[in-house]
Structure 1
């Protein structure tokens, strides 16, 4: 028998999303296959797969302990979310064990299916940070007698779903601050800032509507700005390490002395970012919208509004509720002048009598008499033309002998 060689070993996952990426959540079934390509006959002791999900944190700090000495402190922490192992070919043996019971793979392609379930628990979302990461993957190992094992790995993504359609994440976020600039013995007027957003929860790709009011009573020219920040916090050995990154920002117009500026729904788009990670003990990913006033030569006046980036987008009903509540409350809350729309005129709402009769007769246009239904009354009420406006009551009250109020349009009592 001519011994062959292993030409390729690869891992393929079956469940792919619309972007051809393997994405899963807690409790999902992960299935796939290991493909082995050999040229000639190959004796195999075992083919094993190992699935792991691990959150890791690591950073190093160096400190001086004297004039010429220094020491380095390593901070590491690891948390395991997934551990699964399965043997697809053969049995687990020692590397130097006997060669009896080996499996022979003939020349060509060979596929071996596998499947396992993710734990029914809150898994940490896949993440890559500066001092830590959360990674999930499947590794295949092909063991042959008296040879080093061949390995192949395939990573997959896990999302811990965050539904932003909850009362906590649909609640508006708002704040107000004021600051007075001082220069030695001279004090200028205050700078005031008020800001509000429709809700706390958003998903990547959405735009945040910012409602803000800035009033500059100081002697300097200031600029209102807004920025979305991501804060990564890593924990190891009882110590924390924090990294803040700018995700997106926008800039308003410069504001002269004694002027004010209003943002009536200024849009700040959220780029593709990692969802918030709030339940992992060693890694946290949080977001905040910072609305601030850039003051040259002084500390900025800023408001921080916490955000949660989720994975389940806003439902249609929640969108209508949020937009109605924001439009009703934003104007009064910011102190902007209210400008209610003029009501429509009756001539714009009135329809022709012929159109009303057609609607009352039904879709088929037949004039046959049918017993009245609730839908007929609703349709008649909907398509009635509005009454003509008049200061004089066309139906004055008349008193009958019994003392009841009687109108000509009311049916007589039987």
Structure 2
């Protein structure tokens, strides 16, 4: 049995950043190690670097006993890159298959990620963007034994763009319906300091409210993530929305105007980065600010933001 001969197998990669991430063109270095309990013949030790996108979902075809047969399945996949290298290989010219002696074995590994416009790693409801490093142990008359290490790949967005650190602003208004009189309008103006944020950062949302109605309004702020999955040529799509964070502000009382408030919303550190450069998966974010009024629809303003690995605060705006 494999496990009887090989124990304590580890793939140790040298970190390039404090977040333990890799990106376009990075050189990956490290070593593999394992213990052998007895002399073992090895055909080769190989290493494969691979990037893949896969999506899949299904939709019920209707009710009844045969509904499962009528389910429609949608899927798509693409291989972003794949290449293989050899760590150790038999040398037929000098005696054939090498035999490794019992004890500890350590081998250095080195490979470079290709250059290209590859999306960040992502795992979603109906698909994933996955980067892996696979070490294979090949022995005579045995199936290959593979050890897979998932890489956290980051697509670096150029935050040195004015539109990413410029403030966002939006406004909305509504008038409550009433059979006996014409109440005054409810208005709101919302702004954020910038568009680009990093996971774990706190966004300051600046709000201006006026409530000329006779009802109290409650402001609520949400961070919404929208995952969109596509088939080939984007013929079919499936969308999933998730609320990653929310907070409720102070009430805006009836017949008040020019109410200024600042609401702080912390973006979860576990949030995935924005994905906008993938054929089959999009990941978008909105900060949604709503004024909730009893027995009425909400008054809402959306601020589209992006999540990336570099804060816009870390860069100075270009000189005009």
TM-score of the two chains, using structure 1 as the length reference: 0.69
How many Å apart are 1:8 and its aligned residue?
A: 4.2
**Aligned partner (choices 43, 52, 55) of residue 53 of structure 2:** 55
Partner of 2:110: 115
Task: Render the CA deviation track for 1:152-172: whole Å, top value 9, x for unaligned.
Answer: 111111110124332011222
**Aligned partner (choices 121, 125, 149) of residue 126 of structure 1:** 121
Greater relative contact order (Cα 8 A, min sep 6): structure 1 or 2? Answer: 2
How many Å apart are 1:62 and its aligned residue?
A: 1.2
Structure with max Cα Rg: 1
Question: Aligned residue pairs: how many?
Answer: 309
Write 1 or 2 for the structure with the bigger share of strand.
2
How many Å apart are 1:207 and its aligned residue?
A: 2.0
Partner of 2:14: 14
Task: Render the CA deviation track for 1:216-272: whole Å, top value 9, x for unaligned.
Answer: 122222112221111111112421111111122222222232113633443222221
Partner of 1:142: 137
Distance in 2, matches of 1:235 and 1:153, equals 27
Alignment map for 1:22-61 (pairs within 5 Å) = 23-61=21-59
Task: Kindly indicate whether the alpha-carbon contact (under 8 Å) linking 2:292 and 2:299 is maintained by their aligned counterparts in 1.
Answer: yes
Write 1 or 2 for the structure with the bigger share of helix.
1
Task: Render the CA deviation track for 1:277-331: whole Å, top value 9, x for unaligned.
Answer: 1111111111111111011111100000111112112346638x9xxxxxxxxxx
How many Å apart are 1:130 and its aligned residue?
A: 1.0
Q: Does 1:280 align with 2:278?
A: yes
Q: Does 1:104 align with 2:104?
A: no
Task: Render the CA deviation track for 1:125-181: whole Å, top value 9, x for unaligned.
Answer: 011111111111111121222233322111111110124332011222111111111
Distance in 2, matches of 1:92 and 1:142, equals 16
Distance 1:200 1:315, change over 3 A: closer
Structure 2 residue matching 1:158: 3-state secondary structure? coil
How many Å apart are 1:184 and its aligned residue?
A: 5.0
Structure 2 residue matching 1:63: 3-state secondary structure? coil
Partner of 1:84: 83
Alignment map for 1:196-211 (pairs within 5 Å) = 196-211=191-206
Task: Kindly indicate whether the alpha-carbon contact (under 8 Å) linking 1:6 and 1:42 is maintained by their aligned counterparts in 2.
Answer: no
Distance in 2, matches of 1:45 and 1:317, equals 52
Structure 1 residue matching 2:61: 3-state secondary structure? strand
**Aligned partner (choices 287, 290, 296) of residue 289 of structure 1:** 287
Distance 1:90 1:227, change over 3 A: same
Aligned-residue CA RMSD (Å): 2.5
**Aligned partner (choices 211, 227, 252) of residue 255 of structure 1:** 252
Distance in 2, matches of 1:317 and 1:53, equals 31
Distance in 2, matches of 1:307 and 1:7, equals 47
Structure 1 residue matching 2:183: 3-state secondary structure? strand
Structure 2 residue matching 1:125: 3-state secondary structure? coil
Larger deviation, residues 10-19 vs 244-253 = 10-19
Alignment map for 1:111-260 (pairs within 5 Å) = 111-183=106-178, 187-237=182-232, 238-260=235-257
Task: Kindly indicate whether the alpha-carbon contact (under 8 Å) linking 1:163 and 1:313 is maintained by their aligned counterparts in 2.
Answer: no
Distance 1:226 1:260, change over 3 A: farther
Task: Render the CA deviation track for 1:66-85: whole Å, top value 9, x for unaligned.
Answer: 74422111111112222111
Task: Kindly indicate whether the alpha-carbon contact (under 8 Å) linking 2:252 and 2:259 is maintained by their aligned counterparts in 1.
Answer: no
Structure 2 residue matching 1:169: 3-state secondary structure? helix
Distance in 2, matches of 1:253 and 1:49, equals 57
Distance in 2, matches of 1:7 and 1:243, equals 42
Structure 1: gaps (5+ residues): 94-99, 322-414
